[in-house]
């Protein structure tokens, strides 16, 4: 093989190393362009508010100080590091900060994902899996902590699977990833849960003489990972706080991201699931028992809660990477002792150009686009009126809680469902959604409510219209305000 051909192969190999960066840059620009859609969940408001409180006080919250129904109740923030990052970026650049931070985190997840897949399968197939992951995750890509933790989840599971593929023991250097994940988001419990089945994959294919030693090394790693997850300001309480949401029972079926997958209409997740089944039958894909368990577990999680669909999208390909690589082997160029410095230059220059192009695109786009939060989550006019009337105890819709917190107004309820508990929030939903309208007057009296702020197209306002002692003083396309008849109506605004 000639020297020029050897150098050509070296350049091609190094250029292929740019594929993950290109995929990440593409994902970043895609979500930057869709930036306003990332600002459509009112939880972002209280996430930023808590992060700002941490920055201002140099301390961690240990009880609730944003509601009047649970004021002083024990509560910890399992996403404190993400909240601080969002608060800092919001203070520096307004809503553009959280949008860019979210887009960068998702782009990093994509880049790591493609890099890990490229070890086993061809780059075009890795990019195709990345595009599918973007499609399946679209419904849940929001300016919230779970996206900042996404690249850590991909790296953690991908590196553990790579270790299992080599039939080796996990490196202790992975433990800081778990500690970082535990400070970013409560989803780190998934990473702990997956250590077991991944370790079985490594042990099953190891030589018989070293299986026990290898198994014990994985057990020690699992214990160390559990300890690492407690390296947070809250220590072991982080584990308890991260799992509290799972105890909400029936309530989870009413919160969108915790709802089960709905196949009433065709969705990308349904298509991906059917395609996975069809591919397994068509190609005769043979998997080990631990890989089958991992696939079934991730599929069950996605079917049970739609928020787990992105874990399905990113982790299933990592589990299947080695079997797919064996099924579709790629040609490996002959090793040649050629000078590879030109290839390094190509890689470095290409990486700089990609980063520079992304930054330039960001600057140009931000120069003529102002990111704004979704109006349906921000009842500005209605809250202005309530502030004018000096309303003290507002019975607010679940989705308005975050916005009220951002306005320093104590809330009846907000997105921290684990703080309020299953019965409290279930009674609230039943009362405002018309399933048990008789609960509404009891809640209003029990909590001494002097004004209500409910969603315009929900049954709650219609129930209040018929409820003695209450009157409607404001309505628009977003919210409806009712006050008690005894309240001063001099500043009431006309309905729109």
Q: Could you tell me which of 153, 155, 157, 159 has the C-alpha nearest to residue 184? A: 153
Predicted confidence band at 4 (pLDDT cuts at 50, 70, 90)? Answer: very low
Verdict on whether the full-model pTM lies above 0.85:
yes
At 150, list the tokens: 């996404």
pLDDT beyond 90 at 495: no
Which of 55-59, 172-176, 333-337, 447-451 has the least mean pLDDT?
A: 333-337
pLDDT band of 487, cuts 50, 70, 90: very low
Helix, strand, coil share of the chain (percent; to 5)? 65, 5, 30
More confident: 230 or 485: 230
Positive or negative, the CA dihedral 42, 424, 149, 121 is negative
pLDDT of 74-111, one tens digit each? 999 999 999 999 999 999 999 999 999 999 999 999 99
Q: Return the number of other C-beta atoms located less than 10 Å from residue 361's C-beta.
A: 15
Helix extents (H) in 119-230: 123-137, 145-148, 150-165, 175-184, 188-204, 211-228
Residue 336 has pLDDT above 50, yes or no: no
The predicted pLDDT at position 255 comes to 81
Phi, psi (deg, nearest 5) at residue 470: -130, 145
Q: Does 129 or 344 have the greater pLDDT score?
A: 129
Please report the pLDDT score of residue 260 as a whole number.
87
What pLDDT is recorded for position 259? 84
In this predicted model, which residue has the larger pLDDT, 45 or 8? 45
* Residues with Cβ within 8 Å of residue 226, at least 6 apart in sequence: 192
- Torsions phi, psi for 20 (to 5 deg): -60, -40
Residue-level pLDDT at 489: 44
Question: Measuring CA to CA, how many Å separate 437 from each of 345, 359, 425, 434, 463?
Answer: 70, 53, 14, 5, 7
- The pLDDT value recorded for residue 492 is 46
What average pLDDT does the chain have?
A: 89
Confidence at residue 254, expressed as pLDDT on a 0 to 100 scale:
79
- pLDDT for 22 equals 92
- The 3-state DSSP class for residue 453 equals strand
Measured over the CA atoms of residue 190, residue 196, residue 200 and residue 206, the dihedral's sign is positive
Structure confidence at residue 329 (pLDDT): 77
Is the pLDDT score of 321 beyond 60? yes
Q: What percent of the chain has pLDDT over 70?
A: 91
Does residue 493 have a pLDDT over 70?
no
pLDDT of res. 494: 47
Is the pLDDT assigned to residue 409 strictly greater than 80? yes
Helices vs. strands in the chain: H and E counts, helices first:
22, 4
Tens-place pLDDT, residues 225-267: 999 999 999 999 998 888 877 777 888 777 888 888 888 888 9
Task: Supply 280's token pair.
Answer: 């397994």
Of 347-356, 360-369, 447-456, where does mean pLDDT reach its minimum?
347-356
- pLDDT score of 217 more than 70: yes
Q: In this structure, what token pair is assigned to residue 448?
A: 């001494």
Torsion angle (degrees, nearest 10) of CA 431, 437, 442, 444:
60
Which residue intervals of 34-79 are DSSP H helices?
43-57
Average pLDDT over residues 377-400: 94
Residue 2 pLDDT? 46
Number of CB atoms found within 10 A of residue 162's CB: 17
Residue 257, helix vs strand vs coil: helix
pLDDT, residue 13, reads: 56
Decide: 485 and 455 in contact? Cβ < 8 Å.
no
How many whole angstroms separate alpha carbon 155 and alpha carbon 170?
Answer: 13
Tens digit of pLDDT for each residue in 429-444? Answer: 999 998 998 999 999 9
């Amino acid at each position: 093989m000639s020297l020029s051909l050897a150098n050509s192969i070296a350049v091609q190999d190094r250029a292929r190393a740019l594929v993950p960066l290109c995929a990440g840059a593409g994902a970043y620009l895609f979500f930057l362009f869709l930036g306003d859609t990332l600002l459509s969940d009112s939880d972002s408001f209280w996430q930023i508010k808590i992060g700002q409180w941490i920055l201002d006080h140099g301390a961690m919250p240990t009880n609730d100080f944003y509601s009047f129904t649970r004021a002083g109740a024990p509560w910890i923030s399992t996403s404190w590091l993400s909240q601080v990052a969002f608060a800092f970026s919001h203070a520096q650049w307004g809503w553009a900060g959280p949008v860019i931070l979210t887009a960068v985190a998702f782009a990093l997840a994509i880049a790591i994902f493609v890099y890990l897949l490229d070890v086993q399968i061809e780059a075009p197939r890795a990019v195709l899996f990345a595009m599918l992951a973007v499609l399946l995750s679209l419904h849940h890509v929001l300016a919230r902590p779970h996206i900042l933790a996404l690249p850590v989840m991909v790296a953690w599971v991908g590196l553990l699977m790579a270790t299992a593929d080599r039939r080796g023991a996990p490196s202790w250097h992975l433990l800081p990833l778990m500690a970082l994940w535990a400070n970013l988001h409560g989803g780190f419990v998934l990473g702990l849960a997956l250590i077991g089945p991944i370790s079985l994959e490594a042990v099953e294919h190891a030589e018989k003489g070293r299986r026990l030693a290898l198994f014990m090394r994985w057990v020690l790693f699992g214990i160390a990972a559990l300890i690492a997850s407690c390296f947070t300001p809250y220590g072991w309480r982080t584990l308890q706080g991260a799992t509290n949401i799972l105890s909400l029972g029936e309530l989870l079926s009413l919160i969108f991201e915790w709802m089960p997958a709905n196949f009433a209409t065709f969705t990308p997740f349904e298509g991906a699931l059917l395609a996975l089944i069809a591919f397994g039958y068509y190609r005769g894909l043979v998997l080990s028992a631990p890989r089958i368990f991992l696939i079934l577990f991730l599929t069950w999680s996605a079917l049970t809660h739609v928020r787990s669909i992105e874990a399905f999208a990113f982790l299933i390909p990592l589990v299947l990477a080695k079997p797919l690589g064996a099924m579709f082997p790629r040609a490996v160029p002959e090793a040649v002792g050629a000078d590879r410095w030109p290839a390094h230059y190509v890689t470095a220059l290409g990486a700089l150009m990609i980063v520079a192009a992304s930054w330039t695109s960001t600057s140009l786009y931000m120069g003529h686009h102002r990111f704004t939060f979704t109006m349906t989550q921000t009842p500005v006019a209605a809250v202005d009126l309530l502030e004018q009337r000096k309303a003290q105890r507002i019975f607010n819709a679940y989705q308005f809680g975050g916005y009220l917190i951002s306005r320093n107004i104590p809330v009846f309820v907000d997105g921290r469902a684990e703080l309020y508990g299953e019965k409290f929030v279930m009674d609230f939903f039943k009362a405002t959604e018309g399933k048990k309208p008789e609960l509404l007057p009891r809640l209003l009296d029990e909590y001494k409510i002097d004004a209500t702020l409910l969603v315009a197209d929900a049954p709650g306002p219609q129930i209040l219209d018929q409820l003695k002692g209450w009157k409607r003083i404001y309505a628009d396309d977003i919210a409806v305000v009712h006050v008690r008849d005894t309240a001063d109506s001099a500043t009431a605004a006309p309905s729109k």
